[in-house]
């Protein structure tokens, strides 16, 4: 009953939320749009038709809508949907009502049973799926029990420059954020692209493994991203001094996560709307 009430509240403010779309907190708004654009590229004709009919729009335009819900006091609890928590062994076992992977699974269940659901609930659920598949592939949105660093932290960034014949030298260090590294730093460089162009660029980078990446369930997906989290935290820790060049080496990890999100979103929707 509680689950039904929470979804009904969301349905009540869909129209208002569409008018309030703003910056997303994972991959930034442009990153979400690129994921949606790339996913749309791989939808079957039937899935594309069904998605457009349900949304009365397209995936790119609605890809950031879920972030607006937290602005409504009655729906502030949805802020927890953007994050999921793995256990200390990196496994997704949570059944917490407001955990992101649980919210995603509930929304998928509504889509699978859409003939028995209201049109507005189906639309809300599809919007939720489009957004959360992206969110749960952002490294800073994965928590691991017992690892406080996964909750976010600042570190020092060291601008290590090379001068030929003079070795290395260092400019002034500055505070950098674990969140901003994964949510806006890399995607923000492509704001002059269209979402489709950015999606195509990511596709070129990762397409040879598309058939491998698109497999699995939401639980498997977040565990997969969790492995990248653990590897990244070997370099980034609270108080660590990290050369900018080392940060830049994480961009392929970021792009791979975006590609996985797009491929998996398309495969999921193709299966649901076959």
Q: What is the pLDDT of residue 9?
A: 52
CATH code where residue 104 lies: 1.10.575.10
The answer to whether 111 and 126 have CB atoms below 8 angstroms apart is: yes
Dump pLDDT digits (tens) for 69-114.
877 888 888 889 999 999 999 999 999 999 999 999 999 999 999 9
Q: Is residue 149 part of a domain?
A: no
Q: Is residue 229 part of a domain?
A: no
What six digits make up the tokens of 252? 């392929």
Dump pLDDT digits (tens) for 129-140.
999 999 999 999
Dump pLDDT digits (tens) for 216-228.
999 999 999 999 9
Dump pLDDT digits (tens) for 163-194.
554 545 555 677 899 999 999 999 988 888 99
The DSSP letter of residue 173 is: -
Q: Is residue 109 part of a domain?
A: yes
Closest CA to 28 of 232, 193, 266, 173: 193
Name the pTM for this structure: 0.88
How many domains are contained in the chain? 1
Q: Is residue 236 part of a domain?
A: no
Dump pLDDT digits (tens) for 12-35.
444 344 333 333 345 678 999 999
Q: Is residue 33 part of a domain?
A: yes
The answer to whether 157 and 173 have CB atoms below 8 angstroms apart is: yes
Domain that holds residue 63: 2-142+259-272
Q: Is residue 91 part of a domain?
A: yes
Q: Which residues of 225-243 are buried (b: 16+ CB within 10 A; e: fewer)?
A: bbebbeebbeebeeebebb
Q: Is residue 187 part of a domain?
A: no
Q: Is residue 138 part of a domain?
A: yes
Strand residue runs (E) in 87-166 = 142-144, 154-158, 160-163
Dump pLDDT digits (tens) for 260-270.
999 999 999 99
């Amino acid at each position: 009953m509680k689950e039904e009430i929470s979804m009904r509240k969301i349905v009540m403010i869909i129209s208002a939320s569409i008018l309030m779309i703003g910056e997303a907190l994972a991959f930034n708004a442009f990153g979400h749009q690129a994921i949606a654009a790339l996913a749309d590229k791989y939808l079957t004709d039937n899935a594309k038709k069904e998605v457009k009919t349900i949304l009365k729009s397209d995936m790119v335009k609605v890809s950031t809508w879920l972030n607006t819900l937290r602005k409504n006091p009655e729906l502030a609890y949805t802020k927890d949907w953007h994050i999921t928590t793995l256990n200390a062994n990196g496994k997704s076992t949570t059944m917490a009502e407001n955990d992101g992977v649980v919210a995603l699974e509930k929304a998928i269940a509504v889509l699978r049973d859409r003939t028995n659901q209201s049109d507005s609930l189906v639309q809300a659920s599809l919007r939720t799926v489009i957004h959360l598949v992206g969110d749960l592939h952002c490294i800073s949105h994965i928590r691991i029990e017992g690892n406080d660093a996964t909750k976010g932290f600042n570190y020092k960034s060291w601008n290590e420059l090379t001068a030929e014949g003079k070795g290395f030298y260092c400019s002034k260090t500055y505070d950098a954020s674990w969140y901003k590294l994964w949510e806006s730093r890399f995607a923000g460089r492509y704001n002059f692209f269209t979402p489709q162009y950015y999606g195509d660029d990511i596709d070129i980078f990762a397409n040879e493994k598309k058939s491998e990446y698109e497999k699995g369930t939401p639980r498997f997906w977040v565990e997969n991203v969790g492995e990248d989290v653990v590897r990244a935290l070997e370099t980034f820790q609270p108080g660590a001094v990290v050369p900018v060049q080392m940060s830049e080496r994480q961009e392929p990890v970021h792009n791979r996560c975006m590609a996985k999100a797009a491929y998996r979103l398309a495969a999921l929707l193709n299966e649901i709307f076959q």
